[in-house]
Amino acid sequence: MIKRDFLKISMLAYLKFFSLVIFLSIPSLLMAQVFYKYDNDIRVTGLSQNEYLQPWAGGINSPQFQKADLNNNGTDELVIYERSTDVFKVYEYREGRYIFNAEMASIIPSLPMGWVVFVDYNGDGLKDIFTNGDRGMMVYKNISQPNTNARWEKIADPLLSQSTTTMINIIGNLNDIPAITDVDGDGDLDILVYNFAIGGFIRYHKNLSMERYGNRDALEFEFANRFWGGFEECDCFAYTFLPETCADIGFDFGRVEHPGGKSILLLDANGNGLMDFLGGHEQCNELYFLENEGTSEMAIMKSFSWDFPNAKDPAIIKTFPAGYYEDIDRDGRKDLLVAPNIEFNPAYETDFANSSWYYRDTGTGNAPDFSLVKRNFLQDEMIDLGENAMPVIIDLNGNGKSDLLVSSNGWNSDGRFYGRLVWFENTGTLQQPALTLRDENFLEASSLRLVNPRISFADINNDGRADLIFSGFSFDSGTMKHYVYYQGNHTLKYNEDQKASLNLPVQFNDTPAFADVDGDGNPDLLVGKRDGSLYYYRNAGNGFFNLVTRSYLGIGRDFSLTRLNLSPSVSDFNSDGKLDLFTTDASGYITLIRDFTALSEEERPIRDSLIFYNNTIKQAEAFKMGMYSWLSLGYLYNDNFPVMVAGNAAGGINVMRFDTERNPVSGQVFITRLYPNPVEIHDKLILEVNLPAEGVIYTVLGQKIRDNLSFNRNTLNEIEIGGFDAGVYLLRIHSNAGSKTLKFIVRQ
């Protein structure tokens, strides 16, 4: 079974806090700030001409659904903890629908990776937070004041329970989802967790607040039952009921272990006032339902079924389904949501583009009656390409407008989701771009049967044209494969006939980026590694690259484990003619090193942090893109600064624009666009500039063949090329803000 080569989740969970501390404590002399802002104004249309309601919401893979009033306006928001990226996604409920708000997640305190439950334990109407911690379960009390954003204070770390002899930690494994609800019907919230060691039995920690004080304010628990419900989970489709155990039916685990994550949801499924059990397992595809045939004080289960909530549409999701119980349609009856509770995609068999199942309670009595509404709740409103969306802004059809090409795991073939390329054509204007989905399997890249794909562009064969490089892991050969699609003479510049194998030093889960690092005119290779280091390879010609250093710019192996899974991206973010280096890593934050190719080996690079002004919390903060993200910059608008798009492990994309209001910008920046390139001999070149300019055309040998060219700002300046021979030419243009040399190719 092939998996992402991530560190253990527990390791990242422990280090998440320290990563944040290190990021925020970098001395200001070494960390400047560059303001960007979220851009949700670019409209996106799908294949069926339907417009995405909120295309840039960022994708969903493994959502844990909660509801809480984060801004204390009297209406609960839908709060999703997205486990695959370790970020919170918040949706406001307005005008009958859920609206994504990227800023509101900052209201939630920094929490460890794993699971989170929002629940009002003390009955004050404010949702408190229960989550996993290093030593056991942690509790954050909601201490919000009226007319302010919610605030929480940690009051238990760990939460304790009285056993027969001593106080013990209540432990909910970070891969589990416990039940924190009123199990016995006395008004306070009890806790059910699986045995943290062997996993098959459920432990019942009874809350004694009502018994002792007559209210819900206290968090005083006793370890009341080691075998709640009187059953043991043995395996998929295998439960036993006391006095029989798993060992009696041939399951002898042999040693103490926790065999996979487990989820618990309690709900009264038949309206008799007793809490029934609905659970999932990390190694199973089904939700298992066990009816409570006992009492509220002593639950007794005697049988199980696996086709809940009904035989027509059972909640069967490939790998570890978990259930959530919230009133989604706001009709006063709680609905059922089901989603996989996995960080990554084992064997790439889970459909992460349809992983948010919504069952509406259409019942009228005490018992719920769940009816499946959709398998892509919220996902159908956004760009969600499955898993691992890596975007590139590139003009694919040579019309002078930048399109969006995205690689992702998301093409279903025989039950496995392979890497593919998805093309969104820019059908808008230079003033207001708009994207239209043109091809969900561009170049039929899925036929290569690669997973965890990476995409980049570089002139591999040195013909002056950007070639498309597609890399991924091959299930068939068990090795990494790299392919290059060379540009051709077609309307779309790439096709299957121009594909060739490429020998790149890029391993599983590495991220490549091409840039002319040594200034010789050829693209060199930067590789972000899983261990946090940045490798630099010099272009040796003929598609070969020689290793120069394993710690370029001093970015070596990360022994602190705070910036694993490094992902580089190269662009001229401020259009000053110099290459800038962007990086993301497991911390989720974005850093920028300006003009990085000019740095000597002895110079310590100055890192800029990318931040935005959060109007919800009224302060600037760093972008948190998630544990695994990939950046691309390019011009979608006709302005001075490129747009940044960020893809993530959840298969979604965010868009950010340079914030000209908050960034100190000195002087004017010279922007140019030259297309089509290459240009046919019978066509005309088009040059767009944002400032008046003059130009001269030379051959690559320096022979001047046309001069005294004049170009107007913000217009389509046509350049006649009649009489030119086929070949490569240089257009040197000058404005008051500087000069640029643009290379173009003329073809017969």
Q: Region 471-497: what's the mean pLDDT? A: 83
What three-state secondary structure class fits 56? coil
* 113 C-beta neighbours (distance < 10 Å), count: 21
Mean pLDDT of the chain: 90
Strands 221-225 and 160-162: parallel
The pLDDT of residue 9 is: 33
Nearest residue to 692 via CA among 666, 720, 721, 715: 715
Which of 591 and 678 is assigned the larger pLDDT? 591
Tens of pLDDT, residue by residue over 364-417, are: 999 999 999 999 999 999 999 999 999 999 999 888 899 999 999 999 999 999
Which bin fits 249, alpha (ψ -120 to 50), beta or left (φ > 0)?
Answer: alpha
Instruction: Provide the CA 611 distance to its chain's centre, in angstroms.
Output: 18
* 532 C-beta neighbours (distance < 10 Å), count: 22
C-alpha torsion angle, residues 8, 9, 11, 14 (rounded to 10): -170
Q: Over 90: is that where the pLDDT of 29 sits?
A: no
The pLDDT of residue 78 is: 98
Distance CA 193, CA 176 (A): 8
Which amino acid would we find at residue 349?
A: E
The pLDDT of residue 192 is: 98
| R_g over Cα of the chain | 28
The pLDDT of residue 19 is: 37
What's the per-residue H, E or C state across 564-597? CCCEEEEECCCCCCCCEEEEECCCCCEEEECCHH
Distance CA 441, CA 487 (A): 18
Lowest mean pLDDT among 21-35, 45-59, 569-583: 21-35
Tens of pLDDT, residue by residue over 651-677, are: 999 999 999 888 865 556 677 888 888
Confidence of residue 20 (pLDDT cuts 50, 70, 90): very low
- Give me the phi and psi of 150, to 5 degrees please: -60, 145
The pLDDT of residue 7 is: 32
Residue 716 tokens read as: 């389509």
Confidence of residue 340 (pLDDT cuts 50, 70, 90): very high
Distance CA 527, CA 544 (A): 14
The pLDDT of residue 385 is: 98
Q: Region 716-744: what's the mean pLDDT? A: 87
The pLDDT of residue 522 is: 92
Tens of pLDDT, residue by residue over 527-543, are: 999 999 999 999 998 88
Which bin fits 306, alpha (ψ -120 to 50), beta or left (φ > 0)?
Answer: alpha
- Residue 235's alpha-carbon distances to 317, 321, 350, 733, in angstroms, are 16, 14, 20, 70
Q: Over 90: is that where the pLDDT of 293 sits?
A: yes
Prediction pTM value:
0.87
Tens of pLDDT, residue by residue over 68-105, are: 999 999 999 999 999 999 999 999 999 899 999 999 99
